[in-house]
């Protein structure tokens, strides 16, 4: 499998150097099939933007955001939903999901409320 990954990665690099974004996308799809890494979906979105396929890029960014959220990478999901909203401020799905991720991050990072315990006082 490592040999396959290496070959795909080399192909991606070759296509990038030659500004062949269709080739990049095709190879990245293969790489994603092997790993399921959401970062690859982000890179596919970037390649689609290079081809001026904004709507397709937005779909990729949302797909990546959903994958990040599913794996618990809420900050990464939030970043992708925010990117979608920079590209399309009317995207209600991205807006709702960004709000949800923001709330989840806030709840996760919030310090527990005082339960009536006092900090130890110096003697």
- Contacts for 88-91: CB closer than 8 Å, 24+ residues apart: 88/54, 88/58, 91/58
Question: Within a 13 Å sphere around the CA of 53, how many CA atoms are in the beta-carbon half?
Answer: 14
Range scoring the smallest mean pLDDT among 26-30, 73-77, 106-110, 111-115: 111-115
Distance (Å, whole) CA 44 – CA 21: 9
Domains of the chain: 2-105 (1.25.40.10)
Q: What's the predicted TM-score (pTM) here? A: 0.83
Q: What confidence score (pLDDT) does residue 1 get?
A: 66
Average pLDDT over residues 10-20: 97
pLDDT in tens, 53-71: 999 999 999 999 999 999 9
Query: CA–CA separation, 41 vs 28, rounded Å?
Result: 8
Would you state the structure tokens that stand for residue 108, as one six-digit string?
């996760």
Give the integer Cα–Cα distance in Å for 64 and 43. 10
């Amino acid at each position: 499998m490592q040999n396959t990954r290496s070959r795909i990665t080399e192909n991606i690099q070759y296509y990038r150097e030659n500004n062949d974004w269709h080739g990049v996308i095709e190879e990245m799809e293969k790489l994603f099939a092997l790993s399921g890494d959401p970062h690859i979906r982000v890179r596919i979105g970037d390649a689609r933007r290079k081809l001026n396929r904004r709507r397709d890029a937005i779909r990729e960014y949302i797909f990546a955001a959903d994958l990040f959220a599913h794996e618990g990478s809420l900050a990464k999901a939030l970043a992708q939903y925010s990117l979608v909203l920079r590209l399309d401020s009317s995207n209600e799905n991205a807006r709702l999901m960004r709000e949800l991720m923001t709330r989840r991050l806030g709840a996760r990072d919030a310090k527990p409320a005082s339960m009536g315990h006092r900090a130890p006082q110096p003697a």
